[in-house]
Structure 1
Amino acid sequence: MLALSRKKNEALIINNNIEITILEIKGEQVKIGITAPKEVPIYRKEVYVQIQNENKASVDVESLDALKKFLV
């Protein structure tokens, strides 16, 4: 993991086409802005983990259903 210090209105550039800017700092909370191409999905980590878990559960159920059909 790369750890960087940034101040308000300072930014990071990732892969030449993603910019992350520090918009506001209030106590322990930081507001960031992200500029990226529309085809680049951006999720909060907790949402991303939930999507991945739901996708995995769906695949598991679909695989089980397919196996049941194959055996019948």
Structure 2
Amino acid sequence: MLVLRRKIGETVMIGNDIQIQILGIEGDQIKLGFLAPKDIQILRQELYQGIVAENMAAKEQTSQLQQEQILNLLKNFKV
């Protein structure tokens, strides 16, 4: 992990396209500003983890439904 110290108004670059600027410090919180291309999604970690969990649950549910559908088709299949 890279650890940096920055002052208000200073910027960190990620690659050539992403800028993160320190906008302010309010108590124990730091306000950050992000400038990135529109095709790059920026999410808080807790939202990202929620999306990943929902996608995994949907994948499991879909997989189970497909297995049930295949078994039902095989049961109905007559030679």
State the TM-score, normalizing by the size of structure 1: 0.97
Gaps of 5+ in 1: none
- Aligned CA RMSD, in angstroms, stands at 0.5
Give 2:49's aligned amino acid: V
Q: Percent identity?
A: 42
CA distance in 2 between partners of 1:29 and 1:70 (Å): 53
State the TM-score, normalizing by the size of structure 2: 0.89
The one-character-per-residue Cα deviations of 1:5-62 (angstroms, maximum 9, x if unpaired) are 1110001000110000000011210000000000000000000000000000000000
Runs of 4+ in 1 over 6 A off after TM superposition: none
Equivalent residue, structure 2, for 1:36: 36
User: How many residue pairs get matched?
Assistant: 72
Gaps of 5+ in 2: 73-79
Give the structure with higher Rg (CA). 2
